[in-house]
């Protein structure tokens, strides 16, 4: 079954597309969620995401320890990982070194690629704007960019999501 990577800007429709893709799966679906309700805005976003998904879907909260969460998903379930953006932020805020974040990301991507049932991963593309003014923001942009690239490299198909539509991303070879 395909492993699909969805990347795009904030509010571009990535999560909605992920739910639509996972809804086509006839078996159980497990959502691995990385968000934490640290303020009212994030609590509302989490509430809206929960409301948009079928109530029978299982949710695993994994703001950190992403590999363990993915390994805990039953073999017959489809996985929706939403999202790498917050997971990378959480890991850096927790004090993880760049190479540790990128190493765990590579293991998660490989684990998802080896699963029999469909996996769908959501992430933001944060590298399309101006160069951030501070070192932490530049570090975050760079680590997330490398994490996104590792997930796209393992995926069967990748899409840039813009205005709720997926544009296929293809590997360019010489």
Which token pair is 52?
Answer: 């948009």
Would residue 26 show up in a list of annotated catalytic residues for this protein? no
Which token pair is 16?
Answer: 């909605």
Distances (CA, A) of 126 to 100, 109, 121, 163: 20, 19, 16, 16
Residue with tokens 């765990």, as numbered in its chain: 104
CA quadruple 75, 125, 11, 155: dihedral sign: negative
Residue among 49, 73, 112, 155 flagged as catalytic: 49
Q: Across the beta sheet with 119-124, what order do the strands follow?
A: 58-61, 29-33, 78-82, 119-124, 3-8, 157-162, 165-169
- Of 150, 77, 70, the closest CA to residue 116 belongs to 77
- Of 144, 36, 42, the closest CA to residue 92 belongs to 144
Query: Would you please indicate which residues are annotated as catalytic (active-site) residues?
Result: 49
């Amino acid at each position: 079954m395909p492993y699909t990577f969805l990347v795009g800007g904030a509010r571009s429709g990535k999560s909605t597309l992920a739910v639509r893709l996972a809804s086509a799966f006839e078996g159980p679906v497990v959502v691995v969620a990385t968000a934490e309700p640290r303020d009212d805005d994030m609590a509302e976003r989490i509430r809206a995401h929960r409301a948009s998904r079928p109530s029978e879907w299982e949710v695993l909260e994994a703001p950190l320890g992403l590999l363990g969460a993915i390994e805990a998903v039953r073999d017959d379930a489809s996985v929706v990982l939403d999202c790498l953006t917050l997971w990378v932020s959480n890991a850096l805020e927790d004090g993880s070194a760049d190479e540790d974040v990128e190493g765990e990301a590579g293991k998660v991507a490989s684990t998802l690629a080896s699963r029999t049932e469909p996996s769908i991963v959501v992430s933001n593309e944060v590298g399309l704007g101006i160069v951030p003014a501070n070192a932490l923001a530049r570090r975050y942009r760079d680590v997330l960019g490398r994490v996104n690239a590792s997930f796209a490299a393992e995926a069967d198909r990748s899409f840039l999501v813009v205005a709720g539509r997926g544009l296929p991303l293809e590997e360019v070879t010489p």
